[in-house]
With several copies, the nearest count.
Chain A
Amino acid sequence: MATETLTLGKALNTGLRRALETDPKVIIMGEDVGKLGGVFRITDGLQKDFGDQRVIDTPLAESGIIGTAVGLAIRGYRPVCEIQFDGFVYPAYDQIVSQVAKMHYRSGGRLSIPMVIRIPFGGGIGAVEHHSESPEAYFAHTAGLKVVTCSNPQDAYVMIQQAIASDDPIVFLEPKRRYWEKGQVDLEAPLSEAYPLHSARVVRPGTDVTVLAYGPMVRTCLEAATAAAEDGRELEVIDLRSLSPLDLRAAYESVKRTGRAVVVHEAPSNIGLGAELAARITEECFYSLESPVLRVTGFDTPYPAARVEEEYLPDLDRVLDAVDRTFGW
């Protein structure tokens, strides 16, 4: 296994490059994706190497990005659209939920929209408003879309390629505050043998409490697990990876063993992913649960000013607090 140490951002960049090489129909489009390489440099160098017909700087209009990408998809292209920040995807919402999500269904399966919508999401980088949102529920609630997110460089590298290769329209959420974190990436392993895109993964086995997280919160939960272990409590941490469809096989199996579950995400609690996870786990593991499934999430306020985001976002302490509460129930 020939691995390299890459940041999560560089792993995405490398995955995109690989996708452009593999399939001439793959194109990248978005604001500033060309010479600038995107504000996070995820498309760095790609326009230089693949030309401005494959890596397209678009006018500043998100509905336009997604809407024209639909047309390009009908023409046979595989557009990878970058939305610059989470908070700027909403102008494209109509095209995403009414067109991208429904085209295959409406056409009786005659049309497919093999589009990937890349969105850097989540907080923790001290940004101004609209730059730290977690809109995953808006997409995962929408039938016809699939939604995935990665938590580490290896997954970033593989999952972006899998998403591009998939004929389903996929919202690909990138944990922006983890862009700079490094990890080993196997650049050689064939994509066909990779771990399936829509499968969750146990990233730390444990026996006492099942902790479910995705994207930026996976690392937070792993740190919580390390801290808990020092206190003698073994958390099993599951990285969901696919937010729609959810893969809860591992979660059910785990909760049936542990009897306790904590769900962690940055997005507000009310009608978020955590609610769905709690509802399904409760239904499936009703007789195993020693405590209700607890949620550790952002609060139900707009994303607050950066100087209080640390208190807004779930952190190690809040995860451990919830773990404690599952024992105190």
Chain B
Amino acid sequence: MAKGDPGGTTRSRRPAPRSKKGAAGNPELVQLLTPDGERIDSATGPDGTEYRVDFTDEEYRGLYRDLVMVRKLDAEATALQRQGELGLWASLLGQEAAQVGSGRALRSQDMAFPTYREHGVLYCRGIDPIMPLGLFRGVDQGGWDPNEFKFNMYTIVIGAQTLHATGYAMGITMDGKIGTDDGEAAIAYFGDGATSQGDVNEAFVWASVFNAPLVFFCQNNQYAISEPLERQTRVPLYQRAAGFGFPGVRVDGNDVLASYAVTRTALDNSRHGQGPSLIEAYTYRMGAHTTSDDPTRYRIASEVESWQAKDPITRVKAFLEKQQIADAAFFAEVDEQARRESVHLRERVLNMPNPEPVTMFDNVYPNGSPLLDEQRATFNRYMESFEGSAH
């Protein structure tokens, strides 16, 4: 699927098979595609909102392609880290559906504020997937232009970006860019652990008070490094929103359709002036927190296995097969594309040049600083003193 608006076209659509009724679903968890690949026609959120999607076959296939691509590129990054080519990698394994679903739900004018794990959203925004690898390789601190792609820099300090997103969204209102279909919205990504940070709760306050066009998208992957959800809350996270005065909904974060539907609705509500909302995408971090982490110290294999049965990609594949939206040739072609792009990614990473040391003095201030000019000059003289020496 190209960057664009799935669900926004008028081509012939496949109505969702009526295998399950949404009304029968769990209002505590919006789901449109079961782990077995059964489509649910529509699902109702806790406040009565009806969620549904209306995709063409091509769009369904596009979502599948996205999911496979981001998983494969992510796996390649993990491999590169193992081989010493990256300093660290924070894998999205298991969270592809939450990221692709929400990422594709963004309209081109919407602005996203990621953490350090939103490689899937980044991909949906049309950014070259090599970009975050520069940060994790240590050659830069983020390589894309946030304004060009409407995707801010990665933020590692937990929760800080939620306030940036809130301010940005306040700016949308101040610019008068809400109230129509062309209106803008912002989305702030964060994890379950982040909900404990003061900044995130302050963002809730501000977004509410200023009725900011902002979607808080919390990927509850059940862990903050080693700490299980119970260290952050004793009630479902989506319920946090009500006490701040805006709606919250929990979606099956392993269901790309539901993640899309819920995010699209929330963003559209925001752009039309209905203010903020919170989405809790209920998912699971299948891998380690980062490549530095050892999850066997704090969680048991059976838990991981139980979530394997809810894999976000398997269910889409099962659905596409059952509904004959895609055939073996298609799946093979997608795999082949993923393989090709990951090989290409690897080659490019291996060829990433190290920065010139002296560039560390650049971009400290837009207007520069005499202190840095002096330090840069001294540094250059010092480095030159080694030239031609055995050093």
Which residues of A does B touch, CB under 8 Å? 27, 31-32, 34-37, 39, 53, 57-61, 63-64, 66-77, 87-88, 90-91, 94-95, 98-99, 103-112, 114, 126-130, 143-144, 146, 166-168, 198, 244-247, 269-270, 299-302, 304-309, 311-312, 317-318, 321
Contact = CB atoms under 8 A, between A and B. Distances in A.
A111 B155 CA distance: 14
A300 B298 CA distance: 40
A91 B198 contact: yes
Given A61-B197, A111-B146, 13 more contacts: A31-B224, A35-B298, A59-B196, A63-B202, A64-B163, A67-B164, A71-B167, A71-B169, A95-B160, A107-B141, A128-B141, A144-B364, A311-B379
Contacts of B170: 68, 71-72
Given A108-B142, A307-B138, A300 B375 contact: yes
A73 B174 CA distance: 13
21 contacts: A32-B225, A32-B226, A60-B193, A60-B197, A67-B162, A67-B203, A68-B203, A71-B166, A75-B168, A87-B156, A104-B365, A129-B156, A130-B156, A168-B365, A198-B370, A246-B371, A299-B361, A300-B371, A301-B360, A306-B87, A311-B357
Interface in B360-389: 360-367, 369-372, 375, 379, 382-383, 385-386
Contact of A94 (B139, B153, B160): B160
From B142, B224, B369, B385, residue with most partner A Cβ within 10 Å: B369
A63 B205 CA distance: 12
A260 to B, nearest CB: 19
B379 to A, nearest CB: 7
B138 A128 contact: yes
A270 B371 CA distance: 9
B139 A109 contact: no
From A35, A99, A107, A144, residue with most partner B Cβ within 10 Å: A107
B163 to A, nearest CB: 3
A128 B157 contact: no
A321 to B, nearest CB: 7
A55 to B, nearest CB: 12
B171 interface: yes
Contact of B196 (A64, A72, A75, A300): A64
B152 interface: yes
A61 B227 CA distance: 13
B140 interface: yes
Contact of B157 (A64, A87, A107): A87
Contact of A64 (B171, B206, B372): B206
Contact of A302 (B197, B364, B366): B364
Nearest to B212: A68
B143 interface: yes
Given A32-B226, A108-B141, A307-B139, A59 B164 contact: no
Contact of B198 (A61, A72, A111, A302): A61
B287 to A, nearest CB: 15
B366 A112 contact: yes
Nearest to B176: A53
A107 B197 contact: no
B194 interface: yes
B157 A57 contact: no
B351 interface: no
A58 B193 CA distance: 10
B219 to A, nearest CB: 14
A53 B372 CA distance: 37
A76 B206 CA distance: 19
A103 to B, nearest CB: 8
A60 B200 CA distance: 11
Contacts of A167: 366-367
A245 B160 CA distance: 27
B139 A305 contact: yes
A280 B294 CA distance: 47
Interface string B275-310: 000000000000000001110011000000000000
